[in-house]
Chain A
Amino acid sequence: MAINKLIATEFLRDRAVLAISPLLLLGAWTWACHAGLFPEQILVSPQRVYEAGVELWDSGELAMHLEKSLSRLAIGFSIGALVGLAFGVAMGLSKRVEALCGPSFNAIRQVPTIAFIPMLILIFGVEETFKIVVVAKAAFFPIALATLDAVKGVPKQYFEVARVYRLSTAQLVRRIILPATVPPVLTGFRISLGRSWMVLVAAELLAADSGIGQMMEMGRQMFRIDVVMVGVVITGLVGFVLDRGFRSLETRLVRWKLP
């Protein structure tokens, strides 16, 4: 009992240490505001940012922007992920498809998604289509690449074992191909989800009538630094939640991999 308590306090102390630097930053920030080191247009207190956040939430504005951004992310990511998955499998299984599409795939992969934005705006205009295409493009490449590597990485011996055991095709896919490829593909999903989110925020900063990025851009134009900071916090939180969600999904789906 006493030992348990000791471990518990040690655990708590470890946790407390982790909070030191964020708290110090928050303290310095508050102090700088109270001391009036910077004018109001440059730095507002953490409290003001919190109040702005509550205000935006109560008015429903924040929820509206968040919903817009997340639905764009969901639609674009689903399209990009599905196409990427199919393309990766096709390239991994067929030499012919790889010879035909591989060089173009690798050439386009060299250009960062963000650099495609002006071109896509000229083709699709500044409406929804452009944002969804941008997100889908950002999602497509890492997933296609991860799938391609995963499919190619299945050891030949696995197929030989399957033949020895006379597994049917369905069994081969379910028992061998899926378990062997799911972990790296999931990692590809997680990476591309993070990138899609960043690219979407950038696209909304550039051209949008709604969304978290647009909320920040409006805040910048109207010198509402509190609104901009709320946006920074929200984009960070969304990125964090998406990443954590996927990580837990990964451990859940591949729990057989753990000893």
Chain B
Amino acid sequence: MKNLLKALPRAQGLQGLWLPLLVLALWEFTSRQSAAYAYAFVPLLDIWHSLLGLLVSGELLTNLLATMRTAMVGLVIGGSLGLLVGGLMGVSRTVDKLIGPLYHAVRQVPLLGWIPLIGLWFGNGLLSKVLIVSLAAFYPMVLNTYEGVRNVEKRFIEVAQVLKFSRWQLFTRVQLPGALPSVITGVMHALAFSWISTVGSELLFGSGPGLGGLMQTAQAASKMDVVLVAVASIGVIGLIINVGFTRISRHLLRWRHAH
């Protein structure tokens, strides 16, 4: 028995379980101290029950899908606009000088700091959330596309000039493929930021379906168990998005490792 106990935590990867287990034990212990503590530190069993309840009623899934939809719409709008603006800024010095300063000035405002203004202009609904999320996806896309196009190797462009490529050929055959790795990094950042900002905007606008809204109502009703289930779901989905896209991008960029 003693040997077993000793062997278990020493096994690779299992050591990491000690800390969460300790935290859970402390949590459960605290929850049993008094009713006042149980208010914030909900017993573990209650959390489990509310997870099951949210799953069975479909509430979790509905809110999850709503959040993912907002994130997707914002990502597509903000991402494609970012690709366009960043690409134009990268290709043309004039566009860069015209748009660049405005872009960098606007970017200084913390993303969620726009929320009161957007709220006044467009209300608390889906449109406002999508706007914030689009902005979140727009920034990294512009930056990475711009840098990608700018950092295409000079000799490739010289070859294109020797071959007398047209402006359009130069862009589609040289600059765009050259910028692709950087663009994909941009998509990855845009994905992460749009996920975070969707949750943030749902929380701050506090209306409509979504994991942020679920958390906000649960917090107002002091339902820590629901808040925790929502927090965990947000983390898990974020992880899945991150890992999934890393795989995809590695697959897309496999030609880079060929040489």
Task: List A residues at the B interface (Cβ < 8 Å).
Answer: 14, 17-22, 25, 41-42, 96, 99-104, 107-108, 110-112, 114-119, 121-123, 194, 197-198, 201-202, 205-206, 213, 216-217, 219-220, 223, 225, 228-229, 231-233, 235-237, 239-240, 243
Q: B244 within 8 Å of A by Cβ?
A: no
Q: How far is the CA of A92 from the CA of B112 in the complex (A)?
A: 33
Check B112 against A202 for contact (C-beta < 8 Å). Answer: yes
Check B200 against A114 for contact (C-beta < 8 Å). Answer: yes
Check B117 against A25 for contact (C-beta < 8 Å). Answer: no
30 pairs, A vs B, C-beta closer than 8 Å: A18-B97, A21-B102, A22-B105, A99-B16, A101-B19, A102-B16, A103-B17, A103-B19, A112-B196, A115-B199, A115-B231, A115-B234, A115-B235, A117-B203, A118-B203, A118-B219, A119-B224, A194-B110, A198-B111, A201-B112, A201-B113, A202-B110, A202-B115, A202-B200, A202-B204, A228-B116, A229-B117, A232-B113, A236-B113, A239-B109
- List residues of chain B with CB within 8 A of the CB of A228: 116-117, 120
Are A111 and B224 CB-contacts (below 8 A) given A42-B120, A118-B216? no
Are A118 and B218 CB-contacts (below 8 A) given A22-B102, A228-B116? yes
Q: How far is the CA of A123 from the CA of B36 in the complex (A)?
A: 11
- Min Cβ gap A66→B in Å is 14
Determine which of A25, A100, A213 lies in contact with B15 in the assembled complex, contact meaning CB atoms within 8 Å.
A100
Q: How far is the CA of A102 from the CA of B13 in the complex (A)?
A: 10
Determine which of A99, A101, A119 lies in contact with B228 in the assembled complex, contact meaning CB atoms within 8 Å.
A119
- Total A-B residue contacts, Cβ distance less than 8 Å: 161
Check B224 against A122 for contact (C-beta < 8 Å). Answer: yes
13 new A-B contacts, CB < 8 A, other than A107-B235, A201-B113, A232-B109, are A20-B98, A21-B99, A96-B15, A104-B20, A110-B238, A110-B239, A115-B235, A116-B231, A119-B219, A201-B110, A220-B116, A232-B117, A239-B110
